[in-house]
Structure 1
Amino acid sequence: MPDLDDDLKFALRLADAADAISGARFRANDLDVTTKPDRTHVTDADQAVERAIRELIETERGSDEILGEEYGSAGGDPRAAHRLWIVDPIDGTHSYERGLPMWGTLIALVTDGEPVLGVASSPALAGSDGVGKRWWAAVGGGAWIREGEGEPTRLRVSGIRKLADASISIQSIRQWDATGHLDQLVALSRTVWRDRAYGDVWAYTLLAEGLIEAVAEFGLHPYDIAALIPIVEEAGGRVTAADGSSALWDGSAVATNGAIHDEFLTLLGD
């Protein structure tokens, strides 16, 4: 079996392949957008990215299982897999189709139910050299960012220790309302220093960079959060479900810098 360093190198190559496809189709005049049965949108780029990632995994990690947003899982219950790649080909499809740059590909490896590495790649969040941003982490190896062609730098969450001083991302009011958490959202907005809705992959990477202190959202799928758990945790943060349990399969996620986590969960439970 490959070791974690090899798996991370492989995941970064998967992200390279994804960026080449998604970047070429971003803001394309002929981008094809359709509506799935759950009323969410999918583009031809989402599908092409996931197909490319699946082909590489099947070729180079043939005994591993795959769970992707667009094509699901080919095996049995993915929760029982020893080695499971979880892929969101374009996290933030609605931003992608509108030409907004806050989207990215999420790639995670989960072993025996635990996310052990994650890569988030956002080629449209480009710097002065025209090359995008990428964040990654593997358990025990820290969390890292590369901006453009620069050298990777290590990530660290902020040192803010009180919810009243925190800047948070709530993702969307609709999420909180649809899951019966609107009262807690109002209470939270009255407690924190600043609340915004940065959205999707970008919010979690801002947290890992130490630029905000918390992200909370509901109505999640495993492919929305799996890759981001190692990145936040290896940067010194904490990720749980809204009730404090594991976030991977729960459908909710609270990610913080760690210092304000318990206070955040207490407010959600009120």
Structure 2
Amino acid sequence: MSSDLTFALRLADAADAITHSRFRAADLKVERKPDRSPVTDADTAVEDAIRALLAEERPDDAVAGEERGGQVVAGRTWLLDPIDGTKNFLRGVPAWGTLIALIEDGTPIVGVASAPALGKRWWAARGEGAWAAENGGSPRRLAVSGVRDIADAYLSTTDLGSWVEYHSREKYLTLVDACWETRAFGDFWQHCLVAEGVIDLAAEAIVNPWDVAPLRVLVEEAGGRFSDLTGDPTIHGGSALTSNGHLHETALKLLS
């Protein structure tokens, strides 16, 4: 395991200690950001804790995060989403996680998604495969599914309303009708499920780079494919589609 991935897993440990203690806390503090999305005291505490560790052990690396800002720069940037799925977190729904990615020269090379309330963690690094562990158990290597027919595909998204506002509800429903089964596992979790081979497609009409950077590494190292909805494999496209690779072009055509 590379030193960067080992360190990223340590950062996730620090995040889990904070989020686990604040999940379903009676005194959880919730505020609304200018874009009307919620932020809790746990979000900011996690990002501050990770930034402190990065300043101590990776002082030459840049840092960018959802809550404290920053930009992905040339060279090395750690990109942080302290709690992906904050709406779930503040309502007591266990489907949320901390996302940590290392970007090198514009490409994510390390990714960790840690979901302590689900008892799961996923991680990957370029050339080292994609892995997951449950409740601290032994890691298992991940591989995407082998489904090749869209009519047999299992699809997930985050929120149908986002397709109305940012892409096309009708186009998404065209994809839904073409697939075998659909759910809305939402946010990071659905992309992790693609990497595990549990589902075959996950599509989002609106994302930020910190929402998907580690998931791109995870899915690609599991043998799958990541792109925005135009087919560009970028974390900066404002949308996301992950797949087992076999179904990617078909899904893009149905969403175009």
Could you tell me how far 1:149 is from its partner in structure 2?
A: 2.4
1:83 equivalent in structure 2: 76
Residue 251 (structure 1) aligned with residue 252 (structure 2): no
Amino acid at match of 2:23: F
2:227 equivalent in structure 1: 240
Could you tell me how far 1:247 is from its partner in structure 2?
A: 2.9
Give the counterpart of 1:196 among 171, 183, 192.
183
2:91 equivalent in structure 1: 98
**C-alpha distance in structure 2 between counterparts of 1:96 and 1:170, whole Å:** 18
**C-alpha distance in structure 2 between counterparts of 1:167 and 1:60, whole Å:** 42
Gaps of 5+ in 2: none
**C-alpha distance in structure 2 between counterparts of 1:158 and 1:175, whole Å:** 27
What whole-Å deviation, never above 9, does each CA across 1:57-82 have from its counterpart, x for those lacking one? 11100010011000001xxxx34321
94-103 or 187-196, which moves further after superposition?
187-196
**C-alpha distance in structure 1 between counterparts of 2:255 and 2:120, whole Å:** 32
Residue 8 (structure 1) aligned with residue 5 (structure 2): yes
Amino acid at match of 1:103: W
Could you tell me whether the CA contact under 8 Å between 2:167 and 2:205 is conserved in 1? no
Aligned residues: 256
Amino acid at match of 2:183: R
Give the counterpart of 1:56 among 53, 56, 59.
53
Could you tell me whether the CA contact under 8 Å between 2:63 and 2:72 is conserved in 1? no
Residue 208 (structure 1) aligned with residue 195 (structure 2): yes
Could you tell me how far 1:179 is from its partner in structure 2?
A: 1.4
**C-alpha distance in structure 1 between counterparts of 2:164 and 2:219, whole Å:** 26
Give the counterpart of 1:68 among 51, 65, 68.
65
**C-alpha distance in structure 2 between counterparts of 1:22 and 1:79, whole Å:** 25
Could you tell me how far 1:170 is from its partner in structure 2?
A: 1.9
Amino acid at match of 1:72: G
Give the counterpart of 1:147 among 129, 134, 140.
134
Could you tell me whether the CA contact under 8 Å between 1:65 and 1:81 is conserved in 2? no
3-state SS of the aligned residue for 1:145?
strand
**C-alpha distance in structure 2 between counterparts of 1:165 and 1:89, whole Å:** 35
TM-score (norm 1): 0.93
**C-alpha distance in structure 1 between counterparts of 2:122 and 2:218, whole Å:** 7
Residue 263 (structure 1) aligned with residue 250 (structure 2): yes
1:33 equivalent in structure 2: 30
Could you tell me how far 1:186 is from its partner in structure 2?
A: 1.6
The structure 1 segments of at least 4 consecutive aligned residues displaced by more than 3 Å after TM superposition are: none
3-state SS of the aligned residue for 1:105?
strand
3-state SS of the aligned residue for 1:72?
coil
The root-mean-square deviation of aligned C-alpha atoms, in Å, is 0.9
2:210 equivalent in structure 1: 223
**C-alpha distance in structure 1 between counterparts of 2:74 and 2:29, whole Å:** 33
Could you tell me how far 1:150 is from its partner in structure 2?
A: 1.1
Identity percentage of aligned residues:
52
